[in-house]
Amino acid sequence: MVAFRFAPNATATMILLMIILSVAAEDMIFSGESLTAGQFLERGPYTLVMQSDCNLVLYVNKSRALWSSQTDRKGTACRAELQSSGNLVVFSGGGGDVLWTSNSARGPNSYRLVVQGDGNVVIYGAAVWATNTVQSRS
């Protein structure tokens, strides 16, 4: 039997690492996760928010919309879900009516949707969909 010994600070280091990773993960969601009304992903000046009017919107500086799903007032109790197929879908209510889809399904895999520091929102597994909103650095 092999016994592992940890340095006295290993537990504290592991806890700190988990906290840092959870804070760093506020710019992405993974397959099976969703954003409901009022929830958002943010990186730098870019915020992707699932609004209470059912519109999924990417803002810069929380004021100027760069992109939207154009689903405002088309449903109720909406959520944006990254499916295990790589498809991003805006659903209305508990019934699961589809209001918008990224049409990026590539089959079962582990995907992540990331708000990038350049203003682009991308689904990775392979880059299968993007908002194409890269902002030039001034």
Domains of the chain in start order, with CATH, are: 28-124 (2.90.10.10)
Helix/strand/coil for 15: helix
- Cα 99 to chain centroid, rounded: 18
pLDDT of residue 102: 95
pLDDT of residue 9: 54
Residue 129 bridge partners (DSSP):
123
Q: φ, ψ for residue 71 (rounded to 5)?
A: -115, 15
Q: Does residue 54 carry a pLDDT above 60?
A: yes
- Whole-number mean pLDDT of the chain? 83
pLDDT band at 49 (very low <50, low <70, confident <90, very high): very high
Q: Does residue 112 carry a pLDDT above 60?
A: yes
pTM of the model: 0.74
Query: Which one of 21-30, 40-49, 108-117 scores highest in mean pLDDT?
Result: 40-49
